[in-house]
C-alpha cells in the first residue's frame, strides 16, 4: 500500500527532538503523464459577446421567481437578461424623448 502524502510529517516531528537527521528515502520516479489540451470550442452566448457585460442588481426573490416562471411558460424560456435589457431600452427611450 502506498504511504499517504502526510507520512513524512511524523518523521520530521521526531527528527526535531533527536537532533540528528535520519537519511531520507529517495523520491519515487516521476510517472510520465500525457498533456491534455482543452478542446477548443466556438464562443457562443452573451458572456463571450463584446456588447454584453455581466452586471449585478438586487431584486426581490418573489419578483424574480415570478418573472422567471412567466418567461419560461409564456415566452418560450426567454432569458431574464433579455427582459431586463428590453425594459432598460424602453426606459432610456422615454428619458431621451423628454
How far is Cα 62 from Cα 71, in angstroms, rounded to an integer?
14
Is residue 26 assigned to a domain? no
- pLDDT by residue, tens only, the chain of 98 residues: 567 777 777 777 766 555 555 566 666 666 666 666 777 777 788 888 899 999 999 999 999 999 999 999 999 888 999 999 999 999 999 999 98
Domain that includes residue 72, residue range: 61-97
Q: How many folded domains does the chain comprise?
A: 1
Is residue 68 assigned to a domain? yes
Is residue 51 assigned to a domain? no
Is residue 92 assigned to a domain? yes
**What is the value of pTM for the model shown?**
0.54
Amino acid at each position: 500500500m502506498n504511504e499517504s502524502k502526510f507520512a513524512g510529517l511524523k518523521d520530521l516531528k521526531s527528527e526535531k527532538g533527536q537532533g540528528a537527521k535520519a537519511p531520507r528515502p529517495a523520491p519515487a520516479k516521476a510517472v510520465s503523464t500525457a498533456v491534455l489540451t482543452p478542446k477548443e470550442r466556438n464562443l457562443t452566448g452573451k458572456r463571450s459577446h463584446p456588447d454584453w457585460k455581466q452586471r449585478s442588481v438586487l431584486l426581490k426573490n418573489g419578483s424574480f421567481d415570478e418573472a422567471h416562471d412567466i418567461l419560461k411558460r409564456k415566452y418560450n424560456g426567454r432569458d431574464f437578461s433579455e427582459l431586463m435589457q428590453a425594459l432598460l431600452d424602453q426606459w432610456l427611450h422615454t428619458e431621451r424623448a423628454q
